[in-house]
Amino acid sequence: MCGISFIFDPVNKSFANCPIDLMVSSLNHRGPDAQSSATRDHVALGHTRLSIVDIKGGNQPMVSLDGRFSIVYNGEIYNYHQLKNELEKDGVKFSSDSDTEVVLQSYIRYGEACLTKFRGMFSFAVHDNETGQLFVARDRLGIKPLYYVWDGNVLVGASEMKAIFASGLVEANFNIHSIANYFKYQFSVAPYTPFVNVFELEPGYSMTIRPGGSPQLKQYWDLEFPREYEHEDHDESYWEQRFVEELDDSIVSHMIGEVPIGAYLSGGIDSATTTYLLNKHYDTEVQSFTIRFTNVANDESEISRSIARHIHVPNTELIVDDDRPGGYLNIYEQAIYHLEQPQRVAVDIPHFMLSELVRHNDYKVVYTGDGADEIFGGYDCYRQDMIRVWGNEKASMEEREEYYLTQFRDNFADQHMQMLLRLHEPATQEATIKKYGCYPAWYDTWHILDEVGERLLSQSVKDQLSTNTQMDELIERMKPKLEERHPLNQSLYIETKTRLPGWILWKSDRLSMAHSVEVRVPFMDHELVEFAAHVPPWFKLNGMDEKYLLRKVMMPYFPEHPQSFKKRAFYTPIKEWFFTEEKVDSLNKYLSKNALEEVGIFDVNEVQKMLHEITTLPAPRVNNDYYSLMKLEWGLMIVLTVQILHFLFVKKQAPCFKVA
C-alpha cells in the first residue's frame, strides 16, 4: 500500500523547479518504507511505499526493462501470481516478484483492457515515454483514492488532496455546493470534492491524456443488478452454498504479502465473519483489535471479547475514555487532516486511534468487515423504508399517521415520525421517485438536518445553492441502471455510487493509512459484490431481518449474541467530548465570532445560539430528547470540521505545507 502523485504537462517536455518531491513528502504517512520520484518527458511521478509484497524488490517509480513505460501504483492485486504466470507463458520477462510489475506488464500487454483482469484495490498511473501518454485508473469500487486537478494546462494528481495542495500549483478553496451537501448527504457527490476544481477519479474509471490534449475519462466497470424478471430461480440452500464459496474465496484471495495480517473486531456480524474466516484459513495466529468505550452506552467490547474467545483469537483493546486528559480535539484535528472532508459524527476518532494501536503492535495489514452493510442492505434505513411501503397500503393519510404513531412511536422520536409523514405524502413520494428514478432508502435520512442547515449556513451561501446541480448530474447517470430493478437493489446501486465510496471506504483508507496501516476489505472484492447483486432481494432483507443470508450462514459459528447480531450503529459521544460547558471554550480557535466570520460560510449568530443550546441542554431521557440532541451535535460537528479544514488547507497551516 502506498501513496502516488504525478504532474503531467501536455505541452512542455521538461520541468523547471518541479514540486513532485513536495507532493511525495506530504504522503510519507502512506509509505514510510521508501520515497522516490522521477521525471520523464511531460511527466513527473512520485511514490511513497509501504512494503508488503516483494519487500526487497518492487520499489517505485518502476520502469519497464526497455525504458519505455513507467508506473506509480497504490494497492494490492490479489490475483497477481495468476496474472504473472499467464504473462510469463506469453514470453514476458520479470525482474521482481511484485504486483506492481504485474500491473505494469499487464498494461503493456493488454492496454486499458488490463483493468478487467485485476482483482483487488488499486489506483495507478502509467506513462508511455514513446507516445507521451499518461494512463490513470482506479479500482471498481473506490477502495483506493485518487484525486486530480486539470486547469487546462497542467494535470496534477495524487492519492490524497493534500499532496495536490503541497505542490503549490493548486490553491485550496472550498466548493460551497459540496460543503452544503454535507448537511444532507454526509458525503461529497462524485466526482466533486470539498474543494474547488479538485475532482476524484470515480470508481471504475480510467483517465487518459496525451501531449497537446486534455484528460479523457472512460468507465470500464459498473455494478449490474438483475431486472425484476431476471432473478435466478433457486432455493435458499443454493444461495447459502454459493455465498459460502464466494466469501471463502474472497477471504483466501486477500491473504497475500510477506507481513502478518491482523483483524478489526467489533461486536457485529461483519467483522466477526472476516476475523473468523481469516483465522480459519491463515497459517499463523490472527491478532484481533477492538475498541472499548468506558461510556457503557457506546460499548460493545464485552461482545467482542466473547467472540474472540469463542473463535480462539487473541484480542487487544483500545480504551476510549470520555474523560481522556486533554480531550479529543487534537486527535480530531489530526483525523480531519487525513480525511480532508467535513464530518457530522466523531466515529473517526476511535478508528484513527485504533489504526495507531495496530501499527504500534507491528502490524501493517488488517482485515475489516466494511462493505457488508452496503451489499446486503444492513442499515436501519432499509428497514425504515419498509414503514413507507407498508404505509402506502393505508387508504388515507389519516390512517397512515395513526399507523406510524401507534406502531413505531417507541422506535422513533415524534419529530422524526412527523418528518416521515411529510416525506411520505403520495404527491411528495411521486416527486421523489420521478427525480431519482426510485425512492432511495437513504432519502429520509438525507432530510434530518434540513432545518439545521437552514439555520447554520450564512445567507450568502444559501443564495448560491439554487445552482447546486451536483446530485442532479449524478442522478441522470444512475437512472438507466435503476430501471426495472427491485426497489432494494435500486437503493443498493445508489449506495455504491454515493455513501460507500464517498464516506465508508474514504474513511477506511484515510484513517488507517494515517498510521501506515493497510486495510483489506474482503466484502468489497468485486466478484463477491457482483455475486451479492444477483442474490434475490428477499435473501438480503427478509422482512425486517437485515443481512439475512450473511447472518444465517455465519451465526452458527459465534456465541449467543444479545441482539442476535442485529445491526447496531457504531456511535461515539459528541456532546461529552466537545460541547460541555467545560470543554466548549477549547473550540474558540474555530468557533469564535472572528474565526467564523473569517471563513464566512456559517451564520455567526446561529452558531453561537446553537452552542448555547447544546451546552445548556438537560440530559436526554426520552426519544425526542435524544433526537434533538443528535441534530444539534451533527450540525455543530459539520461547522467545527469545516472550520478545521479551512485552517489546515485554506490558511495553509497543515503539515503538508511544512514539508522540507
Output b/e per residue, 23-33; b: 16+ Cβ within 10 A.
bbbbbbbbbee
Q: Is 240 in the same domain as 198?
A: no
pLDDT at residue 567, as a whole number: 56
Residue 404 belongs to a domain: yes
pLDDT at residue 569, as a whole number: 61
pTM of the model: 0.96
N- to C-terminal Cα distance for the chain? 23
Q: Is 465 in the same domain as 427?
A: yes
Separation of alpha carbons 4 and 70, rounded Å: 13
Separation of alpha carbons 270 and 307, rounded Å: 12
- What is the grid cell recorded at 126? 502509467
Per-residue pLDDT tens over the stretch 514-545: 999 999 999 999 999 999 999 999 999 988 88
Residue 19 belongs to a domain: yes
Evaluate the CA torsion angle 140, 145, 149, 154 in order and state its sign.
negative
The answer for 470, left when phi > 0, alpha when psi is -120 to 50, beta otherwise, is: alpha
Q: Is 406 in the same domain as 524?
A: no
Give yes or no for a contact between 190 and 505, defined as CB atoms under 8 angstroms apart. Answer: no
Q: The domain that contains 185 carries what CATH number?
A: 3.60.20.10
Q: Is 253 in the same domain as 133?
A: no
Separation of alpha carbons 175 and 194, rounded Å: 5
Residue 570 belongs to a domain: no
Q: Is 454 in the same domain as 331?
A: no
- CB neighbours of 499 closer than 8 A, spacing ≥ 6? 185, 186, 187, 374, 442
Q: ∠585-591-596 over CA atoms, to 5°?
A: 155
Domain C-terminal end among 187, 219, 251: 219
pLDDT at residue 307, as a whole number: 95
Give yes or no for a contact between 439 and 432, defined as CB atoms under 8 angstroms apart. Answer: yes
Q: Is 105 in the same domain as 72?
A: yes
Separation of alpha carbons 641 and 648, rounded Å: 10
**Residue 158 is part of which domain span?**
2-219
Separation of alpha carbons 421 and 405, rounded Å: 10
Beta bridge pairs of residue 319:
292
- Name the strand (E) or helix (H) holding 613: helix 604-616
Residue 567 belongs to a domain: no
Q: Is 87 in the same domain as 141?
A: yes
In 90-188, which ranges are continuous DSSP H helix? 99-110, 161-166, 176-181
In 2-98, which ranges are continuous DSSP H helix? 20-26, 80-89
- The residue type found at 525 is D
- What is the grid cell recorded at 527? 466478484
SS3 643: helix
From 145, 77, 147, 84, select the one nearest 116 (Cα to Cα).
Answer: 77
Give yes or no for a contact between 235 and 247, defined as CB atoms under 8 angstroms apart. Answer: no
Phi and psi dihedrals of 8, rounded to 5? -125, 120
**CA 332 distance to own-chain centroid:** 17
Residue 563 belongs to a domain: no
Domain C-terminal end among 496, 521, 536: 496
pLDDT at residue 378, as a whole number: 92
pLDDT at residue 570, as a whole number: 64
The count of other CB atoms within 10 Å of the CB of residue 472 is 10
Task: Kindly list the strands in the beta sheet with 315-320, ordered across the sheet, starting from the edge strand earlier in the chain.
Answer: 315-320, 288-293, 261-264, 365-367, 518-520
Evaluate the CA torsion angle 27, 641, 185, 531 in order and state its sign.
positive
Residue 638 belongs to a domain: yes
Separation of alpha carbons 252 and 98, rounded Å: 19
Q: Is 19 in the same domain as 151?
A: yes
- What is the grid cell recorded at 299? 460499548
Q: Is 162 in the same domain as 233?
A: no
Residue 562 belongs to a domain: no
Q: Is 331 in the same domain as 468?
A: no
- Name the strand (E) or helix (H) holding 30: none
Q: In the chain, how many domains are there?
A: 4
The count of other CB atoms within 10 Å of the CB of residue 582 is 8
Domain C-terminal end among 496, 517, 532: 496
Q: Is 57 in the same domain as 174?
A: yes
Q: Is 108 in the same domain as 173?
A: yes
pLDDT at residue 543, as a whole number: 83
pLDDT at residue 16, as a whole number: 76
Residue 564 belongs to a domain: no
- Residue 5 has what DSSP assignment? E
Mean pLDDT per 10-residue section of the chain, whose length is 660 residues:
92 85 97 93 94 83 95 97 97 93 97 98 97 97 98 96 97 98 95 98 98 96 93 89 97 95 94 97 96 89 94 96 93 98 96 97 97 94 90 92 87 90 96 97 96 97 95 97 96 97 96 97 98 96 90 93 61 93 96 98 98 94 93 98 98 89
pLDDT at residue 127, as a whole number: 97
The count of other CB atoms within 10 Å of the CB of residue 605 is 11
